[in-house]
């Protein structure tokens, strides 16, 4: 009878994969990920059948963490304030988790991430997408394809995050300026 899987080991493997992806890229061998996690290479494959399975699980884990942090919103406030809180939460997650941000960026453009996993990632982000749809409903981007608007929002977000990281003394100002630019574009 196989031993039960440990959630701690699974988490250690995902955390190690995050660090290794950031330092060595997606081509890093699984042996390096296992070593970083403090588990045998075979143990990695007990938890994840293939390297692609590991990457897909990590992608979903990071997306869920990012969405969960971003959607901690105040109730009963106007749309602009809700969207600003989402923005601040997203920026704070990214600058407090730089390795996760960088790993997610690499995974997001990887061919290893399956269409099914991407669809699940989009579902995870559904509350964010719903708020975005409400924000652009009456604005200049209301007729633009949703994917285009999301790409623009992500570009503004990445630029904002970069400035917040490079100039931490003015991080709050950069966060607000990025939001103001996005809001003017949307609403």
Q: What is the pLDDT of residues 74-114, one digit of tens each?
A: 888 999 999 999 999 999 999 999 999 999 999 999 999 99
Run of H or E residues at 63: helix 51-70
- For 38: left if phi > 0, alpha if psi spans -120 to 50, otherwise beta; the answer is left
User: Model confidence over 2-21: pLDDT tens digits?
Assistant: 566 788 999 999 999 999 99
Mean pLDDT score of the chain, rounded to an integer?
Answer: 94
Tell me the pLDDT band of 124, cut-offs 50, 70 and 90: very high
Q: Where are the domains of the chain?
A: 1-49, 52-186
- For 76: left if phi > 0, alpha if psi spans -120 to 50, otherwise beta; the answer is left
Domains 1-49 and 52-186 share a fold: no
Give the model's pLDDT for residue 1: 53
**What architecture (CATH level 2) is domain 1-49?**
Orthogonal Bundle (1.10)
Predicted TM-score (pTM) of the model is: 0.90
- Fold observed for domain 52-186: Tetracycline Repressor; domain 2 (1.10.357)
Residue 102 CA to residue 8 CA, distance in Å, equals 23
């Amino acid at each position: 009878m196989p031993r039960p899987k440990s959630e701690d080991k699974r988490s250690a493997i995902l955390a190690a994969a995050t660090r290794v992806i950031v330092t060595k890229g997606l081509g890093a061998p699984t042996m390096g990920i296992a070593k970083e996690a403090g588990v045998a290479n075979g143990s990695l494959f007990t938890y994840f059948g293939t390297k692609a399975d590991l990457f897909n699980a990590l992608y979903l884990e990071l997306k869920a963490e990012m969405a969960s942090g971003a959607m901690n919103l105040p109730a009963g406030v106007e749309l602009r304030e809700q969207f600003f809180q989402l923005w601040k939460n997203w920026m704070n997650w990214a600058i407090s988790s730089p390795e996760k941000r960088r790993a997610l960026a690499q995974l997001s453009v990887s061919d290893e991430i399956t269409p099914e996993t991407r669809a699940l990632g989009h579902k995870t982000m559904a509350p964010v997408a719903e708020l975005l749809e409400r924000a652009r409903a009456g604005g200049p981007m209301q007729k633009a394809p949703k994917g285009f608007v999301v790409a623009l929002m992500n570009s503004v977000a990445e630029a904002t995050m970069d400035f917040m990281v490079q100039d931490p003394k003015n991080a709050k100002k950069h966060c607000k300026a990025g939001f103001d630019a996005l809001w003017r574009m949307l609403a």
